[in-house]
C-alpha cells in the first residue's frame, strides 16, 4: 500500500509572537509565515479601528499587477455583537489588486490613512452572511523615521461595531477577531540571507463608549520570522507476522520522525499536523533535541 504524507507546521517560519500595550501584555497577536500574514485577538478585546502591518526589513513586495488580479485568499472570523458576544461569523474570499487612482478608493484612503495617494491598494473581497464586502488595504514603502519599523507597510480600517456608532455601525455589529491573508508566491519575498526578521503590527481600537478612536490603548504586536526554514520527515516501518494454523496475520506500524529548523536551529513547541490520504491522522509538538527540533509519531 502506498501512503502519501503531508505535513503542515503551525509555526512555519513564525518563531515568536509578542504583544505590547502600555507596558502590559495584550492578547492581540501577529503570526507570519512564508506565505501568510495573520492578526488575531480575543472576544474580550476592543474592536480594531486601524491595523498597520510593517513588513520586516530585508523582505520585498511585488506590486504593479493589473487591477482585478487575484493575488491570494483571505479568511476572517467576525464577532457579531448585534446578535451575541458568542456569535462568530466566518468569512472567506479573495485578495484582489485595485486601481489606487480610483476616486472612491482615494476618498476612503484619505479617511483611513490621511493620504489619498498610495503605491498600491488590495481589496479583501469577502462574503459575509450573503453580503459581499470589499475592505481596502493600502500599501506603501516606509520612509524617514518610520523606516526603522520595516521596509513597507499595509494599512486597513474597519467600521465601528458598537451601538453608539448609530447609522454608521458595522453590519451585524461585526468585530474582527481573526484575519488571515494567504498570498500567492512572489507577492511578499523573503531575503536570501539567513537570520531572524521582525514583523510588527500596530492596532488602534475603537472607543467602546463613543464613536471615536481609543488612541490611548493602541498596541503593538510582533512576529519573528527565522530564515531559512526546513521540515524533514523519515518513516520507519515495523512489520509483525503472527501465524495461527494456516492463517498468517500481518500488522504494520509506522514511526515518523523528523526535524523542524529555522535559521539552522531547532524549533521547540511547534505544532505539526500529519495528513495521509487527504485526512488528518494526528498531530505532534516538536521538542528540542541536540540543537534540533524532533517530531515523533507512531501510526
Distances (CA, A) of 73 to 65, 111, 123, 251: 16, 25, 10, 43
Q: Are 99 and 131 in contact (CB under 8 A)?
A: no
Look at residue 283 in the predicted model and tell me its pLDDT.
Answer: 78
Q: Are 7 and 273 in contact (CB under 8 A)?
A: yes
The cell for 178 is 481573526
The cell for 242 is 503472527
Q: Are 27 and 294 in contact (CB under 8 A)?
A: no
**Distance linking the first and last C-alpha atoms of the chain:** 14
Q: Are 285 and 262 in contact (CB under 8 A)?
A: no
| d(C-alpha 182, C-alpha 38), whole Å | 9
The pTM is what? 0.78
3-state secondary structure of 289: strand
Can you say whether residue 272 is alpha, beta or left, with left for phi > 0 and alpha for psi between -120 and 50 degrees? Answer: beta
Angle at 55 between CA 182 and CA 6, to 5 degrees: 35
| d(C-alpha 143, C-alpha 288), whole Å | 40
Q: For each of the chain's 299 residues, which pLDDT tens digit applies?
A: 333 333 333 333 443 444 555 444 568 999 998 789 999 999 999 999 999 999 999 999 999 999 999 999 999 999 999 999 999 999 999 999 999 999 999 999 999 999 999 999 999 999 887 788 899 999 999 999 999 999 999 999 999 999 999 999 998 999 999 999 999 999 999 999 999 999 999 999 999 999 999 999 999 999 999 887 767 777 787 788 888 877 888 787 777 777 776 656 677 767 777 777 777 777 778 776 554 445 555 55
Look at residue 223 in the predicted model and tell me its pLDDT.
Answer: 94
Amino acid at each position: 500500500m502506498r501512503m502519501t504524507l503531508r505535513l503542515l507546521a503551525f509555526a512555519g517560519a513564525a518563531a515568536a509572537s509578542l504583544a505590547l500595550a502600555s507596558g502590559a501584555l495584550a492578547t492581540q497577536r501577529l503570526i507570519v509565515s512564508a506565505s501568510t500574514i495573520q492578526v488575531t485577538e480575543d472576544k474580550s478585546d476592543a474592536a480594531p479601528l486601524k491595523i498597520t502591518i510593517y513588513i520586516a526589513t530585508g523582505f520585498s513586495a511585488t506590486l504593479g499587477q493589473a487591477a482585478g488580479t487575484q493575488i491570494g485568499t483571505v479568511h476572517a472570523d467576525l464577532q457579531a455583537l448585534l446578535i451575541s458576544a458568542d456569535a462568530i461569523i466566518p468569512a472567506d474570499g479573495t485578495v484582489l489588486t485595485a486601481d489606487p487612482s480610483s476616486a472612491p478608493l482615494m476618498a476612503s484612503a484619505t479617511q483611513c490613512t490621511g493620504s489619498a495617494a498610495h503605491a498600491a491598494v488590495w481589496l479583501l473581497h469577502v462574503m459575509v452572511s450573503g453580503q459581499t464586502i470589499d475592505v481596502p488595504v493600502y500599501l506603501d514603502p516606509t520612509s524617514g523615521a518610520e523606516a526603522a519599523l520595516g521596509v513597507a507597510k499595509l494599512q486597513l480600517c474597519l467600521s465601528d461595531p458598537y451601538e453608539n456608532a448609530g447609522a454608521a455601525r458595522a453590519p451585524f455589529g461585526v468585530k474582527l477577531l481573526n484575519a488571515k491573508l494567504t498570498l500567492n508566491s512572489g507577492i511578499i519575498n523573503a531575503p536570501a540571507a539567513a537570520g531572524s526578521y521582525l514583523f510588527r503590527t500596530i492596532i488602534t481600537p475603537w472607543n467602546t463608549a463613543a464613536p471615536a478612536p481609543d488612541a490611548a490603548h493602541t498596541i503593538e504586536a510582533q512576529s519573528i520570522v527565522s530564515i531559512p526554514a526546513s521540515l524533514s520527515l523519515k518513516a520507519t516501518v515495523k512489520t509483525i507476522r503472527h501465524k495461527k494454523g494456516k492463517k498468517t496475520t500481518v500488522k504494520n506500524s509506522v514511526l515518523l520522525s523528523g526535524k523542524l529548523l529555522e535559521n539552522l536551529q531547532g524549533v521547540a513547541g511547534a505544532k505539526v499536523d500529519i495528513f495521509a490520504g487527504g485526512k488528518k491522522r494526528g498531530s505532534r509538538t516538536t521538542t528540542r533535541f541536540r540543537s534540533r527540533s524532533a517530531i515523533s509519531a507512531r501510526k
